[in-house]
Chains A and B, each alone.
Chain A
Amino acid sequence: MLLGDVSSTYSDIVETVFSSTIAAKAWFATGAAALAIVQVLTASRMWGKLRRVVPLPFATAKRIHRWSGRIAVLLTLPVFFHCVTMLGWKTPDARVTAHVVAGSFVYGVLAAKLLVIRWKAYPHWVLPVLGGSLAAVLATLWLTSALWYFTNVRFGF
Chain B
Amino acid sequence: MTKRQVAPPLLLVTVTLTTFGLAKWHPFSPAAAPAASVAGDPLRGRRVFVVNCSGCHGMDATGGIGPSLRGVGLEPAEVEQIVASGRGVMPAGVVEGQEAADVAAYVAGISQ
Q: Which residues of A contact B (CB under 8 A)?
A: 2-8, 10-12, 15, 19-22, 81, 83-90, 92-93, 95-96, 100, 103-112, 115-116, 119, 121-122, 126, 130, 149, 152-154
Contact partner of B25 among A2, A88, A104, A149, CB < 8 A? A88
A11 to B52, Cβ gap below 8 A?
no
Specify the main secondary structure of chain B where it touches its partner.
Answer: helix
Cα distance A116–B11 in the bound complex, in angstroms? 11
Residues of B43-57 contacting chain A, CB below 8 A: 51-52, 55-56
Q: Which residues of B contact A (CB under 8 A)?
A: 4, 7-9, 11-16, 19-20, 22-30, 32-34, 36, 51-52, 55-56, 65, 86, 88-89, 91-97, 99
Which residues of the other chain, B, contact A81 by a CB distance below 8 angstroms? 28
Q: How far is the CB of B83 from chain A (nearest CB, A)?
A: 10
Specify the main secondary structure of chain A where it touches its partner.
Answer: helix
Which residues of the other chain, A, contact B15 by a CB distance below 8 angstroms? 107-108, 110-112
A-B contact pairs, 19 of them (CB 8 A): A8-B36, A11-B96, A12-B97, A19-B51, A20-B99, A86-B26, A89-B20, A89-B23, A92-B89, A96-B89, A108-B11, A108-B13, A108-B15, A112-B8, A112-B9, A115-B7, A119-B7, A153-B56, A154-B52
